[in-house]
Amino acid sequence: MNYLILFVKGLIIGIGKVIPGVSGSILAISLNVYEKAIDAICNLFSNFRNSFTFLFFLGLGIIISIIFGSKIMLIFLSKYFFITFSIIIGLIIGTIPKYINNIGDFEYKKIFYFIIPFMCIFFFSVFKINLSVSVSSITYFIIGLIEAITTIIPGVSSTAIYMSLNIYNLFLNVISNPFNSHFLLFLIGLAIGVLITSKIINFLFKKYKTETHMVILSFLISTIIVLIKNIFLVKEFNFIFFLIFLVVGFVISHLLNK
């Protein structure tokens, strides 16, 4: 894969870590790098050169997007929210045909692999659940775990979970102050979470590929519905322009996945 293309894909995936309600892993799936990234993480030491190179360029794009893209995205979200979300919806829709093909022959007995994840995402998007956690040193480790798990599992937004647990500001504080012990605990939780979750996902792809693709397809479609629901509430919503920008996102997804 062209390293520049891989870097650009990382930039786009990083957007998912900045925009509340958007999952970076969903964008990774849309850009056809999700399974490759999981495989690279799991085989980092057995196939170090290829895995490291892949993760380096993809990760570099994600990191730069998160560091420098947050301010840019704040501008886009405040001034061009409608356009930004329309293009993102198009990006996600662009990957639907691939995952339908991955499922292969449909079996009714496996429909629950689609229905249950769909209902979970829809439930959490409609009913806002707010909890509180007591803050201690272990909290920063847990924040790292949450960040890792939500980065790898499709359709789950870390921002939404942080807000539900009332620790979103804590998360912002820890990543903005990298030179303290709290940030170290965050990194440890992040590293452990990435390794464990990647191993689990990789196992599922190998042993239960059809079922796993059905779950991912469920996450993709439920994410699209939630995003469309949110964009319909925007005052400047215009159906014609929505379709135009959606097609733009769809074309970008197609071009990046040639």
pLDDT tens-digit readout, 80-89: 778 877 887 8
- Number of independent structural domains in the chain: 1
Q: Which domain holds residue 241?
A: 3-256
Mean pLDDT of 194-204: 87
**Of 12-16, 21-25, 85-89, 119-123, the least confident:** 21-25
Give the model's pLDDT for residue 256: 64
Binned at pLDDT 50, 70 and 90, residue 105 comes out as low
Give the model's pLDDT for residue 87: 83
Give the model's pLDDT for residue 12: 81
- Say if CB 42 and CB 198 are below 8 A apart: yes
Binned at pLDDT 50, 70 and 90, residue 126 comes out as low
Give the model's pLDDT for residue 85: 78
Round the average pLDDT of the chain to a whole number and report it. Answer: 78
Give the model's pLDDT for residue 74: 60
Mean pLDDT of 73-93: 76
- Over 70: is that where the pLDDT of 197 sits? yes
- Over 60: is that where the pLDDT of 131 sits? no
Q: What is the pLDDT of residues 144-178, one digit of tens each?
A: 888 888 778 776 667 666 766 677 677 777 776 77
Mean pLDDT of 200-210: 84
